[in-house]
């Protein structure tokens, strides 16, 4: 359940790439991404392998990008976003 602060935060937070509203990511998505992190298969937008499990995240309106939460803070840096269209794809 979201706190009143979370609801207010969700009303003003925007994706740094698309400028669209962000909403909290589903816990199942976070679990799936964390599994990929454990398998060293998940990278951010600039191709760096993500080594630290996600605490949570916010996704953009088109559900193409996830902005991770680290240390209780949403990381609103374009390079640190996770491209959900690329997440889970096997390397050739």
β partners of residue 59: 23, 66
Query: Is the pLDDT assigned to residue 78 strictly greater than 80?
Result: yes
Task: Judge if pTM exceeds 0.95.
Answer: no
pLDDT at 10 (0 to 100): 72
Summarize the confidence of residues 32-45 as an average pLDDT: 97
d(CA 84, CA 17): 13
d(CA 14, CA 42): 23
69 vs 87, higher pLDDT: 69
Which residue, 87, 53, 50, 48, is CA-closest to 70? 53
Query: Is the pLDDT assigned to residue 7 strictly greater than 80?
Result: no
The average confidence (pLDDT) of the chain is 89
d(CA 87, CA 67): 13
d(CA 75, CA 92): 30
- pLDDT level of residue 1 (50, 70, 90 thresholds): very low
């Amino acid at each position: 359940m979201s706190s009143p602060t979370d609801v207010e935060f969700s009303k003003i937070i925007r994706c740094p790439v698309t400028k669209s509203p962000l909403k909290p990511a589903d816990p199942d998505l976070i679990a799936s991404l964390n599994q990929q992190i454990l398998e060293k298969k998940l990278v951010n937008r600039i191709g760096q392998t993500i080594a630290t499990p996600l605490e949570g995240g916010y996704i953009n309106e088109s559900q193409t990008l996830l902005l991770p939460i680290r240390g209780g803070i949403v990381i609103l840096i374009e390079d640190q976003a996770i491209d959900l269209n690329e997440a889970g794809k096997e390397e050739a």
